[in-house]
Structure 1
């Protein structure tokens, strides 16, 4: 969140986050994968099976502890963590490794379009060959969004919610409750009431302008299209979202103008913990900052609210993010069954060290109380835990954007024009639809 380039990488992600591998929902059979090796079953020597797991989280933020825990418990199956950066260059590095037979047994997907691309390239194993894990039951309704051709090629392991962080002390001073359900108008009102000469009412990067729009449209279809197959972006909900954010920037002056943010590149998470912004639209990744009291001391409590709907009375709104951190198995792995055992363990209990960095496990069998305790260890008194648990561990309906990366990138230029007042909200909605339609037509040829 430190700069705009980083957030654009997050956009490919965020629309952030669905674990599906049902027993395995899509294709059945309990047969062992061709070339698979059961842990300890078919070894021909005393050497342990060696697996590699590629992921984008820095090893010191949990992954290394995860594999260390596994390796202690499973001396016959040893896992090595290999880090790649979740940007264009890092994903290219992973894809190159997959097609060049470099040691990649398992890898984590953070973006649906890249996940789908890897499946079509034959670089993700159909998990339907395993029958000992019901993904839909474990992960819930959102898991099915990761199916391709009704099959699971990866197991999503965490909830990747977008939500609003709040300075509860500032809320209390204004007599404002922590919102449990709200729309953009109330969101705007909160920001206006909380702003002051030295405090922005709201801080957010350009990615989050899309959250209310996509959350409103995804009920129409996963492709954000109308029944006739054309783009659904040119609708009143999109127009209202663009207008509200413009008004917050230029009328209320409660949100830093978009062009100023692009120019100054503020560290928004640090603005929030320093008390320079009363609210921050973000994800669970901010835990790395809010938990770091030593480097970023603060005296106020942090609370959480769900992402605002466009209209508060919307009943079919889906929260952006969904399930994510989808772990796939490379079909070229010689130890597919061992890899599958590791992934199950990781999802149901092994990813506990990742909780300290804010990653919320999605498996219903995960020890949630342990995750919460670790997530807030030593800083429990600096959070409004009731609101945090309600948002992060509640039952909010979650969605997954399947927007292709090309459309997302091209639409960003339109958001830039709207929030620099080169386009009206109405014209911006039409342009978002035009770009989407152009790419929909190109993909259908």
Structure 2
């Protein structure tokens, strides 16, 4: 028995020495802080999360950064767009190993910041001479209580799109520089012979109002109500657009417009990038978003997303260096432009690339547009926007009048604001 026990102990010792030898012969090993223990340059791995709609650009950014970085390597993880917001919130609250990640908009950024999930970038911006005013008004979308929590990625604006072939066949002038009343009457007149005059998504139901600076936090929602009445005409009275019910479920606005039976579409400049995938069999063009009579010409609504650093990142400086490369450099901006996306960072080189890539008639309106932020800066804005959409949708499917919808929204707004 003693001999067997001795042999067993000896075997265990041999295994331990063998493992130790293997470990010493390994070029790189992981430490608790994620750095390399090799005798060569230490390498920090940064975990970066993006949504699937931006996968191509994200891969290009990561590849370009990794190619020029010796000591920091970025690992990209992609989450499906429909699941992204919920999954990242759960991961952040659960302490997942996230260093930096994409956030859809300002309201979500401020919500996450107030829960302590995001790192303030103020000190890092100062150390790296990053000035968020370079982004224009867009940069303020990610500021809360004086702290900056994100760097702008790309910027967008809403436009009017039209089927040039249908307009040519009808002998009608192209829909450039219309008012909302012009647009509504034109759409009604064109809705015949199994064709729609327009298709307008119900994602942003106060679009016309925000283009002139009125937000859901305003006490007097005059323009919001006026725009809601236009929606009632498109979806219900004139039936010049597919209804709210038609646009539920798997409805894809680009695919619908690509069928060639709709004269006009309201959508964002991301259409330059996504619409060709729908393989339209006609010439398509862009024009300025319709405006209210008293609005400045080419007023529109736009937004920007951001890259942020997790408050729990083990490598905040390295994570920041990566998002600065993506969001505040000619190299990062050029990658966005190469993928037919307008970078938020003002880079002449990138804009030259964009103009070469995007040759659709009307692309120039992206640069001349007077853009207001799509969402207000209130920390509750995402919740207010959801409440407004629910009440207005309820009205547009016949469950309430417009007046009732606005009264219900204002009551819900008071309840939401009282939770501050």
**Shorter-normalised TM-score: what interval?**
0.7 to 0.9
Instruction: Give the one of 39, 53, 61 matched to 1:66.
Output: 61
The root-mean-square deviation of aligned C-alpha atoms, in Å, is 3.0
Structure with greater proportional strand content: 2
Shift in Å, 1:56: 1.0
Report what 1:332 is aligned to. Answer: 312
Cα separation, partners in 2 of 1:43 and 1:107, compared to 1, 3 Å = farther
Is the radius of gyration larger for structure 1 or structure 2?
Answer: 2
Report what 1:440 is aligned to. Answer: 417
Instruction: State the structure with bigger RCO (CA 8 A, min sep 6), 1 or 2.
Output: 1
- Shifted more, 185-194 versus 148-157: the winner is 185-194
Shift in Å, 1:217: 5.0
Cα separation, partners in 2 of 1:406 and 1:144, compared to 1, 3 Å = closer
Cα separation, partners in 2 of 1:224 and 1:214, compared to 1, 3 Å = farther
| Deviation digits for residues 51-80 of structure 1 (CA, Å, limit 9, x no counterpart) | 121111356422112211221222332111
Report what 1:185 is aligned to. Answer: 181
SS in 2 for 1:138: helix
SS in 2 for 1:434: helix
Report what 1:103 is aligned to. Answer: 97
Shift in Å, 1:43: 10
> 1-side partners of 2:332 and 2:239: how far apart?
45
Give the 5 Å matches for 1:171-250.
171-172=167-168, 173-180=170-177, 182-216=178-212, 218=214, 224-226=217-219, 232-233=220-221, 235=222, 237-250=223-236
| Deviation digits for residues 383-408 of structure 1 (CA, Å, limit 9, x no counterpart) | 21xx2221x22341321414533333
> 2-side partners of 1:239 and 1:333: how far apart?
44
> 1-side partners of 2:367 and 2:354: how far apart?
10
Report what 2:5 is aligned to. Answer: none
Give the 5 Å matches for 1:266-415.
266-292=251-277, 296-300=279-283, 302-309=284-291, 311-315=292-296, 319-322=300-303, 324-347=304-327, 348=329, 349-355=331-337, 358-365=340-347, 367-374=350-357, 376=358, 380=359, 383-384=360-361, 387-390=362-365, 392-402=366-376, 404-415=381-392
Instruction: Give the one of 161, 164, 175 matched to 2:160.
Output: 164
Structure 2: gaps (5+ residues): 1-32
Contact 2:101 2:309 in 1 (8 A): yes
Q: How many residues align?
A: 378
Shift in Å, 1:99: 4.0
Contact 2:138 2:152 in 1 (8 A): no
| Deviation digits for residues 363-415 of structure 1 (CA, Å, limit 9, x no counterpart) | 112521113333x3xxx4xx21xx2221x223413214145333333322322
Cα separation, partners in 2 of 1:43 and 1:401, compared to 1, 3 Å = farther
SS in 1 for 2:160: strand
